[in-house]
Structure 1
Amino acid sequence: MRTIYAVTHPEATHHVEGVVGGWHDSQLTPAGLSAAASIAQALRAQIPDGADVELFSSDLRRTRQTAEKLAELFGVEPILDRRLREKSYGEAGGRPQAWLEQRFIPPPPAGERLEHDEGVEGAETKAAVAQRVYAAMDEILQRPCEHQIIVTHGGSLTFVVASWIKMPIKAVGHVAFRVRSGSITTLREDDFFHNRQVMSLGDTRHLDSAKAG
């Protein structure tokens, strides 16, 4: 049996500053660092002691900081992979959200959506993001490890899940799995049927428990 825990990084400075994230290299806020510790504790409670664990992360600072909290508890080194990054918003990265909203061209309801040009210089298409995340997932899944943790971003999570369920890239033009920052999505493949299951999507109970405590 293989279980993947796909983690979206928690609150980062671009969230509170109201600027575009993407490849803008923001860092976790104090609240985000606390949430990252809660994520690590939640996964430590789920994964058996002594189990083999691999940890993968986007190379941006906010995901690296999240992965570091996990690495401390599990005693593993994160494998950084830029293909797990958030979508690049090109010249909009780090600018106010209002700047992007004034220029953004939404995709059409039908027709070409994967290669749609959003009107922002240097921004990635949905096809480009899907192709790189799918490629990263292909390599991760070739590794024979029972428990794998992937630290990524809210937008990229859609393609992690779509890749897991073997959705063809040509079909992802309309798909989006929306989750909160600091969430855990649990994906599992059983040893008998080899079905790929989505056990939970965007679970944030660990964050609510931390606040209550």
Structure 2
Amino acid sequence: MTETRRVICWRHGRTAWNAEKRFQGQSDIPLDALGEAQAEHAARLLATLRPDVIVASDLRRAADTAAFLGGETGLEVEFDKRLRERSGGEWEGLTAAEIRQRWPERHAGMDIPGGELMADVGERVTEAVERALVAVPEHGLLVIVSHGAAIRAGISRMLGLPQEQREVLGPLGNCSWSLIGPMRSGGWRLLEHNAASLPEEIVLGDDQ
């Protein structure tokens, strides 16, 4: 059966480590005051899209972001460890400047000593999305609440992008989201990326 459901991939709100440009990875850092305000605002917008299922990373910054949407919609938030951020190995807790200074070549290629491979991240995030979609009705909407690198890896995997082209997807701002939907020919396509406001209705034409 052709896929009819859509998926919003929503990044968590800001943390103190985000503000300090520290590599978080799977360190369990909570939202700061601005991050909570971001999540509350975004949740009000996303609630108007009437999601059917919400699944989040169990790390606090994602779980607490998802809780705002759960409160707006009345939906219970489910958790899946496969939506956690990429493990940052030796880089976790260090600033971007410190990483560049100590590992200039590795930083350029995001080759993290002791860290998780992006291909593996994309695989586990995709597995989490596919598992969650089972509970979403036809033409329904799934909201995944996760982390910047994990979301990009998952979307790249679902779109079938080769690893060398993953940088085609730019970064996500805190509490921004991406929307993927089905193609009539099967598979997924990117409908929105790094969005922070609701889209206007698109009048379909020759480019649909």
* Same fold by TM-score greater than 0.5: yes
| Separation of aligned partners in 2, 1:40 and 1:107 | 34
Match in the other structure for 1:158: 152
CA offset at residue 189 of structure 1? Answer: 2.4
Unaligned runs of 5+ in 2: 199-208
Query: What value does the CA root-mean-square deviation take over the aligned residues?
Result: 2.4
Q: Deviations over 1:113-137 (max 9, x none)?
A: 8xx9x252x2112222222222222
Assess if the C-alpha contact under 8 Å between 2:182 and 2:189 holds in 1.
Answer: yes
| Separation of aligned partners in 2, 1:144 and 1:53 | 6
**Are 1:55 and 2:54 matched, yes or no?**
yes
| Separation of aligned partners in 2, 1:95 and 1:141 | 36
- Residues 139-148 or 1-10, more deviating: 139-148
CA offset at residue 162 of structure 1? Answer: 2.1
Assess if the C-alpha contact under 8 Å between 2:100 and 2:107 holds in 1.
Answer: no
Match in the other structure for 1:90: 89
Q: Which amino acid aligns with 2:59?
A: L
| Separation of aligned partners in 1, 2:63 and 2:93 | 18
Sequence identity percentage: 24
Q: Secondary structure at the match of 1:106?
A: helix
Question: CA, structure 1 residues 180+18, in 2 after alignment: closer, same or farther (shift >3 Å)?
Answer: closer
Match in the other structure for 1:201: 193
Assess if the C-alpha contact under 8 Å between 2:88 and 2:112 holds in 1.
Answer: no
**Are 1:78 and 2:77 matched, yes or no?**
yes
- Where does structure 1 differ by over 6 angstroms across 4 or more consecutive aligned residues? none
What is the TM-score with the length of structure 1 in the denominator? 0.78
Match in the other structure for 1:172: 163
Match among 8, 16, 20 for residue 17 of structure 1: 20
Assess if the C-alpha contact under 8 Å between 1:103 and 1:119 holds in 2.
Answer: no
| Separation of aligned partners in 2, 1:14 and 1:89 | 14
CA offset at residue 193 of structure 1? Answer: 5.2
**Are 1:134 and 2:126 matched, yes or no?**
yes
Q: Say how many residue pairs are matched.
A: 190
Match in the other structure for 2:100: 101
- Residues 180-189 or 150-159, more deviating: 180-189
What is the TM-score with the length of structure 2 in the denominator? 0.80
Q: Secondary structure at the match of 1:132?
A: helix
Q: Deviations over 1:146-197 (max 9, x none)?
A: 11100011111112322332x16xx22331322222112122227x655633
Q: Which amino acid aligns with 1:153?
A: H
| Separation of aligned partners in 1, 2:115 and 2:126 | 19
